[in-house]
A = this chain, B = another copy of it.
Amino acid sequence: MIDTLAGLGDLRVWSVIITIFGDSVLPRGGTVAATTLAQITERMGIKPEALRVALYRLARDGWIVRSKHGRHSYYRLSPEGIAEFAPATRRIYARAPAMHGPWQLAAAEPAPQAERDALARAMTRAGHIEIAPGLYLGSAGSSTPAGADLVRLRGELDTLPDWVRARLGPAALAADYARLEEALAACRDALGTGPPPCPRAAITLRTLVIHRWRRLLLRHPDLPANFFPEGWPGERCRAHVLALHAALSPPAEAWLDEAFGPAPR
């Protein structure tokens, strides 16, 4: 199961570390030993040297902070790291997409590229999705940036045209999702029929499940299934992910209890 999920494509080590922080470290106080990270990542095929380089770079770029106690290194997310990565956590473990109707369609005056880009960034931060140049979709309640001079209509959407769906859920992402769906289904089958995984396999596998899910989920907006192309595998993957997370958590948490020592810390 670990090989199947690890084999879905290159693992970006820095990103796996961020996944571990969100999935296992933040709920346990926020600080993790380098050795714990090494034990979780080793079975994915991540070499100790690759882990060291990734930790060094994350610390150098200000996302994590290292502390030493004797010969042991510990890491925690910096305030910048928490600000950057924590907001996605709610979305990763949510049972359904967060955005819902009634909707708001907002349009900006045609403007030069640079101005449009600046508005697009501000609108994205405010929770809107640019579905065409200068055209934004959001929940009806979403505020728009001060000074953005937009036409705004609040109400109900008709069925979305295919060009919007394809823009929100590109074919390449659907293909990645389909591969993940297949791997997750295979994991559920194996978990259902085979022997239970040992605690260390469980934490590694849970990390991989969340990591693969997170990497695809955050590539598209948090919209209901009917905003994506016909047959979109996103919500089926979500169901697999939540089921696997629930099934793997008892042994995985047992392993984490051991690794993090007695609670409360």
- Residue A172 CB within 8 A of the other chain: no
Q: How close is A202's CB to chain B, nearest CB, in angstroms?
A: 45
How many copies of the shown chain assemble into the complex?
2
Find out whether the CB atom of B162 lies under 8 angstroms from the CB atom of A149: yes
Chain B proximity of A158: nearest CB distance (Å): 4
Known contacts A132-B134, A134-B132, A135-B135; decide if A109 and B154 are in contact (CB<8 Å): no
With both beta carbons as reference points, the residue of chain B lying nearest to A149 in the complex is identified as B161
> Across the interface, which residues of B come within 8 angstroms of A133, CB to CB?
110
Decide yes or no whether A105 CB sits under 8 A from chain B.
yes
User: Is A102 interfacial (CB-CB < 8 Å)?
Assistant: yes
Chain A interface, number of residues (Cβ within 8 angstroms): 29
Quick check: is A56 within 8 A (CB to CB) of the other chain?
no
In the assembled complex, how far is the CB of residue A141 from the closest CB belonging to chain B, in whole angstroms? 13
B110 near A153 with CB under 8 A, answer no
Q: With A157-B151, A157-B152 in contact, do A109 and B134 touch (Cβ < 8 Å)?
A: no
Instruction: Please give me the residue from chain B that is nearest to A131 by CB atom.
Output: B151
In chain A, positions 143-188 with a C-beta closer than 8 Å to chain B are 149-158, 160-164
Q: With CB as the reference atom, state the residue of chain B lying closest to A103.
A: B153
Look across to chain B and name the residue whose beta carbon is closest to the beta carbon of A155: B155
The answer, yes or no, to whether A38 is at the interface (CB within 8 Å) is no
Shortest CB distance A154–B (Å): 5
Nearest CB of chain B from residue A67's CB, rounded to whole Å: 51
Query: Which B residues are in CB contact (< 8 Å) with A163?
Result: 109, 149
Q: How far is the CA of A103 from the CA of B109 in the complex (A)?
A: 19
